[in-house]
Structure formats: structure tokens, C-alpha cells
Structure 1
Amino acid sequence: MTMTPEPAARRLPGLKGFDDALTRITEGVAALLVAAEVVVLGSSTVARYVLHTPIVWSDELASLLFLWLAMMGSVVALRRGEHMRLTAFVRNLAPGTRSWLDTLGMGLVIALLLTLLPAALEHFEDLSISTTPVLEISEGFRVAAVLIGFALMLLTAVDTVLRQASLFQIAVVAAGIAAAAAIFWWFTPVFEEMGNANLLIFFLGIVTFCMVIGAPIAFAFCLGTVSYLAFSTQIPLTIVPSRMDEGMSHLILLAVPMFILLGALIEVAGLARAMISFLVALLGHLRGGLQYVLLGAMYLVSGISGAKAADMAAVAPTLFPEMKKRGNDEGDLTSLLSASAVMSETIPPSIVLITVGSVTGVSIASLFTGGLLPAFVGMAVLCVVVFFQTRTEDMSQAQRFSGRDKLRLFVIAIPSLGLPLVIRTAVVEGVATATEVSTIGIIYSVAVGLLVYRQFDWKRVYPILVETASLSGAILLVVGAATAMAWALTQSGFSRQLVEVMTMVPGGKLGFLLTSAVAFIILGSVLEGVPAIVLFGPLLFPIARLMGVDEVHYAIVAVFAMGFGLFMPPFGVGFYLACAIGRVSPDVAIRRVGPHMGALLVALLLIVLIPWISTGFL
């Protein structure tokens, strides 16, 4: 049996104090930035819609704070091990082997950050001489976030290696990385002569290797891009922090941290529990009633949090105990929970839909309108499965609510039921932007929690702000890294070659859609929705337009297919999240996924074959 070596930190007694101080500083600053964004955006929204006197500098200040939030959130996510990563290949390895791979993965992160720091410094110096148009301050105040973020991530990565790896492991990994870099440098003339064939080495080989060993996806993308630029082109590495800055600075992406924060607040303020209690009273006495409640609750709350784990965690713990009492198989319940997350992928305000709009230029209001019916189709096919699975359910102990109780619970639930309705209506109708609506939702949730449900726990606010920053940073760093990678692929001519290949797919428009659906299922199982769409959206959406496919229809197909891949075992990480939330072994749940995933595959085919499902209400 392989033993885990003694960490090097044991020989460095002062490291724990440094680690604690770095944690407090980074988490405190990240939480403060989230709170500052809420204040700035909230003030701007109130000034615009209540006082009718827009604050002209608010967007500029929000943009400045946003890049800092993205970078500081990325630091916190790295410290907490919360960056998106593929764990399917390393999950069941022996602790000793896993320790070596973790050390190698973090060693590659350190090597990457050491390479990018000089480029980030040059990017800072280039932009610091410019001034912002409204506030008239140096752009250096904004882009310094990239430089300082890289430096803090480097400190974090070194700190992590020292805490988790032995000195021997560190020495071996460092020597191996240095040797690999020397070999790549030696073969630089060969790579330059290979033309686009070298893309297989850098963007397939290196990126895949990094993801297989469990390295964070964002850093895998960056390492592939930096290696390609350094060893096969004459392009300066300053383009990497520049493109990452550009990718993370879209103001529309401000909706990401705001909706993540909103999703946490609706649970703290009691809105989610009130909504579920009413649905249980309405449907809980029917055969399969609690399964229908689960689907309905996921339809209502999904997408608001920005994280599928948060959506599932808001619903499942309330319902699963009673469902098990009724004799439901725990594998079926976990499979249904996982499938409900797939079903709700296109429900606004989905973070993936917001990302699609940001990187492809498709109207977010149109995406929000187009996403509701496809999700309903997914829910309908799952309801059919539930109907047949629960025909023999024991209802003798099911609680029945009187009409008076149902009315009482409905009145209590009105504030919680109104929130998703207000959010989706405001964005779809174009009353406000997604970011403004998320801010309104935050103010609304806090007010309802304090004044209506009176269960707002202020002690949970700081941890929620830190968690919001961490998840936002994990998402936004992937967006930035994928933006740089997509730029490099475009510069190489790969996008032109991809257009030529995809336009040759047999079957015309339908063949292209089916091929795309399969591709996005695979991408979703490996990359998750956000990185997959940022990387391939700018490449594939122009092809869809060229093929005559409606861009909203194509976006819905892509998002639904990626959700299917994300929750499809054995590689889909979302499936394992559902198992963890349902407290069921993956070995038990994996045997029960067939009916639910089969139904969703039918729903996906319907969405592909019937464009009206996505575009009928536009």
C-alpha cells in the first residue's frame, strides 16, 4: 500500500501563521468587494429606476471593482480547492498516488504563474498610462488586479504545495517540470514547422493531461495557451493577461456574482423553504407527489444561485427524508435530483445563458425567453417517468392538507413565488438588465427575510459573501482563460478549418445540430457549461448562423446538451454532486439513471427537431 509522504510544512513552523494570515486577508478583501459591488449596483439601480437620475460613473466603478472581485475570488477558490476540475480519473486512486498527482498539478500551476507574472506586469505598465473616460483615473487601478491576483495565487499555490507535499515530492516534480520545459524549448523549431498540427500537442495533449491529473481547468487552459505561444509562435505572452482581462471584464458577467449571492440569500431569508412547503401541501398527497414537488421547485429556483449544487441543496434535504419514508428507492431519488438539474439548465437566469450572451452576442432577453419552454419539455418527460415509477407508492402515511391550510401556505409563499417571476419577467421584457435585476432581487430577498419571514441570520452573511467570491472567481477565471485560449485558436487558423469541417457534415442543418448536440454532451461531461461555451461558443455560433440555424435555438440545444453531459455518469461531475447532496453512494445511484437520462435524451431530440420549442415565444 502506498503511503502519503510527510508534508514539507512540518519542517516550517512559521508556515501556519502565514497561511492563516493570507486566508483572512484574501477572504476579507473578497467579501468586501462583493459587498461593494452590491452597494454600487444597488445605488445605481435605485437612482435609475426610482429617482430617475442615473449615476454616470457607476458602471465604470463597478467594472473596476469587478476585475478585482474576479481575481481575488480566484485566489480564494484556489486556497479552498474550489476551482472547476475533472476528478473522474483521480477520484478513486490510492492516497499516495493522488498526493503525487496533486503535487504535479500544483507544480504546473506554480510554473504557469511564474511565467505569467512578468507578462502581467508589462500589461499593467502598458495600460497604466491610460485614463478611464468618466472617473479620469489611471487604468492601472483596474488592471493591477490581474498582476496582484497572479502574485497572490502564486503564494497560495506554493503554500498549498508546502502543506500537502513532501520535500522529496517537491524536488522531483520541480525537476520534472524543468526538464519538460527544456525539451519543449529544444523542439521549438520543430513545432514551428509543424503548422497547425502542433495544436494537437498544446491544446489537446497538454490541456488533456492537466485535466486528467486533476489540475484546475482554468489553469489547464492557460498552460496550453502559454505553451503554444511560447514554443511555437513569436507572439509575446502579454497577450494572455490582456485577453484574460478582456474576457473577465464584460459588464454583463457582473450578473454572475450577483445571482450567486441572490441564490444563497433566498435560502437564508426563508424564501426557498416557504416555496417548497406550499408545493408539498398542494401535491404531496398524490402518488409521486413529492417527486413532482422536487421538479417544480427546481424549475422555480434553478438558475438563481449560479451553481447547480446550490439549487439541489436548496430542495433535496427538505424532501428526501419523507420520500424515503414512502418507500422510494434512494437511487431513483438521486437520479431524479440529478436529472432535474439537467432539465432546468435553460431556465433563466441561468449563468450559462448569461455567459452565452456575453461571448456570442446573442440577446440575453431572447435566451431567457427561449429557455423556459425547453425546460418545461424536460420536466414533462421526467413527470412521465415519475408516474410509472410511483404507481405502487405507499400513500397511507402521507399528510393531507385542508383547503384552509393550502391557502395559508400559499399566502406565506407569495413573496417567495414572486421573486423568480419578477426576475424573469423583468429581464425577458427588457425592463432592466440581468445585473440590475439580480441587484433588485438581493434587496428584495433581504427585505422579505427581515420583514416577512423574520429569519434572516446575519451571522451567515460573511461566509456567504466569501463563498460568492470563491464561486464567482472560479467561474470568471475559466472565462478569462478560455477567452485567451479561443483567441490563440482563432489566430492559428483553427476556426477557419473548423468551419470547413462542420459545413461538410452530412444532413445539412439537422446533421449539424445533431453533431453539435453530441459534441456539447461530451464537452459538458469534461469541461462543464461555462468553460465549454466560452471556448467553443465563438467558434461554433458563426457556423450555426452560416448553416441557417437560429442562434437562440442553437444556444438552447448547446446548453441543454452540456447539462446532459454534466450530469451523465461516469464522467459528469454534476452526477456526483447530486449523490453527495442526496447522501447516496454513486454505485447505488448509477444503476438507476437509465430511465431519467433516457427521458432527457428524448427531450433533447425534441428540442433539436422542433425549433419552435426554443423560438416560439420570441
Structure 2
Amino acid sequence: MSFALGFVPIALLLLGFPIFLVLLTAVTVALVFYMNVPLAALHQNLFGSVNAYALLAIPYFIYAGELMGRGSVAQRLVDFVQSGVGSLRGSLGITTVGTATIFGAISGVSAAAVATIGRVMYPSMTKAGYPKPFAAGLITAVGAIDIIIPPSIPMIVYGAAAQESVPRLYAAGILPGLLIAGLLAGYVMWRARRENFGAGEPFDRSHFFRATVRGLWALGAPVIILGGIYGGVFSPTEAAAVACIYAILVTRLVFRELSFAEIIEAAAATTRFTAQILIIVSCAGVFSWLLTVNQVPAALVSFLQSLGVGQWTFLLAVNVLLLAVGCFLDPLSAILLLTPLLIPVVKALGIDTVHFGIVVMVNLAIGLFHPPFGINIFVAQSVLGIDLKTIYRGILPFVVLYLIALVLITYVPAISLVGVWVLIN
């Protein structure tokens, strides 16, 4: 059995097979050669893994973000944030951080934020004298906030895998996301002052008022989503559906930017992306079932308890593991692969599973832009039209900032849990 559970997945990953095929092959080998179980169990668990109400929110949030990202929403958000930043040194960089954070509360897809914000902000920053590596690194890194700030799609998947409340996870992600945004904005200001670039423009009250009016409809999406969830009006899945209707009305009737054909095209793109996600979810569900029936999580808990591992040591080991895994696997694959193994240990050690979920999100957010294989790096290269060496040089300071935030979030649980206490309890 160790051959099927250990050697087969590792060998296929090293050979470059897609993660869903890696998991499915391992389960098939185990069922055929090592277990006296009918193959019908494979089909039942494949379909049973996606039979979760919380997963319905995924296509809805993707569709809402797809619609809002195709029009002028990003530019309206940029104008709103920039008009409020005023004369602060590094104002364009701060605007990039603020816009990406707000956009994350609409989309929840990191690559979409990098592409959308990058097209708007990179030309403006380089024209204003920002060093190209710095501007490229900021845009690549800031998109990772989107999987920490709700509504995060990886949080929905973690909630389903860990059987944890999605509203609680969303509440827990707000303050850590703002903490990271604050660290990035502070670094932008310090760097701009030290190297004397990015002078801002004086605050103009009339311009701020006009930008706010233009951005109200764009700002309405996160207000409706989060306000509806924590106001008890609807569940996260219902909030996602409402966000889709809102996005269609705004982009088609208010902004008059998308035709009906483009709305259907966005739906088709959403369907393709959702299929890519759910096939991983289904195969990971089967692999999780295989681990459970073979008592792998229980054996891991017993082993760690025999070693006397405490919370701090375990969290440190998990951070190292997730940082390594995040460099090679996308967040959804990493969550679905590791959560069934780690959650029993987390519960046995008395660690809050909501807090642990945020630790997982921050680790995998770093993996999105960590050299050499972070997906945001390649999205930025494609959108910005610059070489990888420039992006790598610019990313390193932001990796350090995220690591500082990770240490704080890991060992100060209140940073995550205060949002739950305020909004849920």
C-alpha cells in the first residue's frame, strides 16, 4: 500500500503529470492491487466529493469576478483609491496595494487581480519613475492578497475539506489581509522616500468626490457580499449568486460596457475554470477517502503524539512544508492534498481550525509569487511584457514582507480570530 500512497504520487508529480491524474492513478492502483474493494467505490467517491453545497459558491464568485474584470471596474477602483491617497510619496504604489485589496473582495482569484491591476498600474508607475523591478514585483506580489481577503475561493475549498464554516473563515481572513496590505503600503512609502521616486499629487476634494461617485457601483460588490453574509441576509453561496446578478446589472445596464455576447463568453470562461477546479476537488476527495480508510491520518496523529510535538513546533514544520509545496502546486491542489492529513493533527494539538486555515492561506499566497514557479510570476510576465529576471529581482523584498506577516499570523492567533469574535460571535 505504501507504494500506491507514496511512490506512485511522487513519481508522477516529478514526471509532470497533472495533479488530478496523479491522485486518481494512486487511488486506482491501490484499489486494483492492494484493496478488496469494488471499483464502484471510485465512482461513488468521485461524485460524492463535489456533492457539497459550499462548492456551489465557486462558479458564482468566478463569474462575478470575470464580469467585473472585463469592464472599467479596475480603472474606477484605481481612480477612487488614488484620489484618496493624495500627496503621499509612493502614491501610485499605495494605490496598487489598495486597489488589489478591494478587487480581491470582488474576485477572489489572484491571477485575475495581477492581470487586471497590472494592465492599469504598471505603465503608470514606470512612467512616474518607479524602478521596473520594483513595480513588477509589487504587482506580482500584491495579487496574492486575494486568496486571503474574502471572498476567497481557496477558503471555500479549505472549508469543504476541513468541514469548517466558510463565514468564519471569511471573517478570520479580513484582518490578516489588511495586515499584509499595510506592510506592503508601508514598504512602498519607505522605498519611495529612500530612493526619491513616486511623488504624489495634492489632495483635491472635488476630484475625490467625482472618483467616489464613479467608483460607487464597483465598491458595491464587496459591500453586498460581506454585508449580506454577516448581516444574516444570505449564506456565502447565496451571496455569490447575488454578486453575479449585481455584476451583470452593473456591467450591462449601468456602465454599458459588456454586450450580451460578452456576458455569455464570460460564462463560458467561468465554466472552463470551474471544471478545472472541480476535477481536482473530486480526485482529491477520493484520495482523502483512501487515506482515511487506511487510517493514515490516525497513524500520523499517534506518531506526532509519541514525539511530544507541541503547537509551536508543529506550526513551524507546517509552514516549512507549505512554503515548499506552494512553490510547485497551486493552492487548491495543495489544500486538497494536505488538509485531510493535517486537520486530525491540528485538532489533536488543540489548534483552532479557522486559525490554521488562515495560516494555510498565507503560506499558499506566498507560493503564488515565490520564485521560481509561482503562477503570478508567469501571469505578470505575460501581461507586463517583461523578462523573468526583472520580476525575480523585484519580488524578493515582498517575499520577506509576507514571511514577516506569516510569523505574526501563525503565532498570534488573535490576528485571525478577532474577526470571528466580532462578526460571528
TM range (shorter): over 0.9
Aligned partner letter, 1:290: L
Alignment of 1:501-512 (within 5 A): 501-504=303-306, 508-512=310-314
Aligned to 1:568: 370
Secondary structure at 1:249 match in 2: coil
Secondary structure at 2:150 match in 1: coil
Aligned partner letter, 1:407: F
**How far apart are 1:596 and its partner, in Å?**
0.8
The Cα offsets for residues 475-516 of structure 1, whole Å up to 9 and x where unpaired, read as 111000000011111222211222123335666111112222
Count of residues in correspondence between the two structures:
419
Alignment of 1:526-545 (within 5 A): 526-545=328-347
Is the 2:107–2:146 contact (alpha carbons within 8 Å) kept by the matching residues of 1? no
Is the 2:192–2:198 contact (alpha carbons within 8 Å) kept by the matching residues of 1? no
- Give me the whole-angstrom Cα distance separating, in 1, the residues matched to 2:145 and 2:107: 16
**How far apart are 1:400 and its partner, in Å?**
5.5
Q: Which has the bigger relative contact order, CA under 8 A and spacing at least 6?
A: 2
Aligned partner letter, 1:511: T
Asked whether 1:601 is paired with 2:403, we answer yes
CA 1:539–1:363 in structure 2 vs 1: closer, same or farther (change >3 Å)?
Answer: same
TM-score (norm 2): 0.93
Highest CA radius of gyration, 1 or 2?
Answer: 1
Aligned to 2:358: 556
Aligned partner letter, 2:174: L
Is the 1:244–1:480 contact (alpha carbons within 8 Å) kept by the matching residues of 2? yes
Is the 1:288–1:393 contact (alpha carbons within 8 Å) kept by the matching residues of 2? no
- Give me the whole-angstrom Cα distance separating, in 2, the residues matched to 1:297 and 1:505: 46
Which stretches in structure 1 are left out of the alignment for 5+ residues? 1-197
- Give me the whole-angstrom Cα distance separating, in 2, the residues matched to 1:360 and 1:394: 46
Q: Of residues 207, 210, 228 in structure 1, which corresponds to 2:9?
A: 207
CA 1:558–1:385 in structure 2 vs 1: closer, same or farther (change >3 Å)?
Answer: same
- Give me the whole-angstrom Cα distance separating, in 2, the residues matched to 1:606 and 1:401: 34
Asked whether 1:450 is paired with 2:252, we answer yes
CA 1:561–1:429 in structure 2 vs 1: closer, same or farther (change >3 Å)?
Answer: farther
Aligned to 1:280: 82
Secondary structure at 2:89 match in 1: coil
Aligned to 2:263: 461
Aligned to 1:424: 226
Is the 1:202–1:227 contact (alpha carbons within 8 Å) kept by the matching residues of 2? yes
Moved over 6 A (4+): none
CA 1:578–1:303 in structure 2 vs 1: closer, same or farther (change >3 Å)?
Answer: farther
- Give me the whole-angstrom Cα distance separating, in 1, the residues matched to 2:283 and 2:325: 16
Aligned to 1:231: 33
- Give me the whole-angstrom Cα distance separating, in 2, the residues matched to 1:269 and 1:505: 55
**How far apart are 1:318 and its partner, in Å?**
0.7
**How far apart are 1:306 and its partner, in Å?**
4.3
Is the 2:144–2:365 contact (alpha carbons within 8 Å) kept by the matching residues of 1? yes
- Give me the whole-angstrom Cα distance separating, in 2, the residues matched to 1:413 and 1:371: 24
Asked whether 1:470 is paired with 2:234, we answer no
Secondary structure at 1:477 match in 2: helix
Asked whether 1:584 is paired with 2:392, we answer no
Aligned to 1:292: 94
Asked whether 1:368 is paired with 2:170, we answer yes
**How far apart are 1:285 and its partner, in Å?**
4.5
CA 1:522–1:304 in structure 2 vs 1: closer, same or farther (change >3 Å)?
Answer: farther
Aligned to 1:33: none
Aligned partner letter, 1:319: M
CA 1:504–1:345 in structure 2 vs 1: closer, same or farther (change >3 Å)?
Answer: farther
CA 1:303–1:227 in structure 2 vs 1: closer, same or farther (change >3 Å)?
Answer: farther
Is the 1:277–1:409 contact (alpha carbons within 8 Å) kept by the matching residues of 2? yes
Aligned to 1:264: 66
Aligned to 2:413: 611
Identity of aligned residues (%): 27
**How far apart are 1:617 and its partner, in Å?**
2.6
Is the 2:117–2:139 contact (alpha carbons within 8 Å) kept by the matching residues of 1? no
Aligned to 2:145: 343
The Cα offsets for residues 418-442 of structure 1, whole Å up to 9 and x where unpaired, read as 2112211222343211121111111
Aligned partner letter, 1:493: Q
Aligned partner letter, 2:56: L
CA 1:437–1:527 in structure 2 vs 1: closer, same or farther (change >3 Å)?
Answer: same
- Give me the whole-angstrom Cα distance separating, in 2, the residues matched to 1:400 and 1:449: 32
Alignment of 1:143-222 (within 5 A): 198-199=1-2, 201-222=3-24
- Give me the whole-angstrom Cα distance separating, in 1, the residues matched to 2:244 and 2:147: 22
**How far apart are 1:206 and its partner, in Å?**
2.4
**How far apart are 1:402 and its partner, in Å?**
2.9
CA 1:430–1:526 in structure 2 vs 1: closer, same or farther (change >3 Å)?
Answer: farther
CA 1:224–1:455 in structure 2 vs 1: closer, same or farther (change >3 Å)?
Answer: same
- Give me the whole-angstrom Cα distance separating, in 1, the residues matched to 2:291 and 2:95: 45
The Cα offsets for residues 176-235 of structure 1, whole Å up to 9 and x where unpaired, read as xxxxxxxxxxxxxxxxxxxxxx42x33333223333333221111111111122122222
CA 1:377–1:504 in structure 2 vs 1: closer, same or farther (change >3 Å)?
Answer: farther
Aligned to 1:497: 299
Alignment of 1:317-336 (within 5 A): 317-336=119-138
- Give me the whole-angstrom Cα distance separating, in 2, the residues matched to 1:516 and 1:430: 34
Is the 1:303–1:345 contact (alpha carbons within 8 Å) kept by the matching residues of 2? no
- Give me the whole-angstrom Cα distance separating, in 1, the residues matched to 2:55 and 2:251: 27
**How far apart are 1:470 and its partner, in Å?**
0.8
Is the 1:567–1:574 contact (alpha carbons within 8 Å) kept by the matching residues of 2? yes
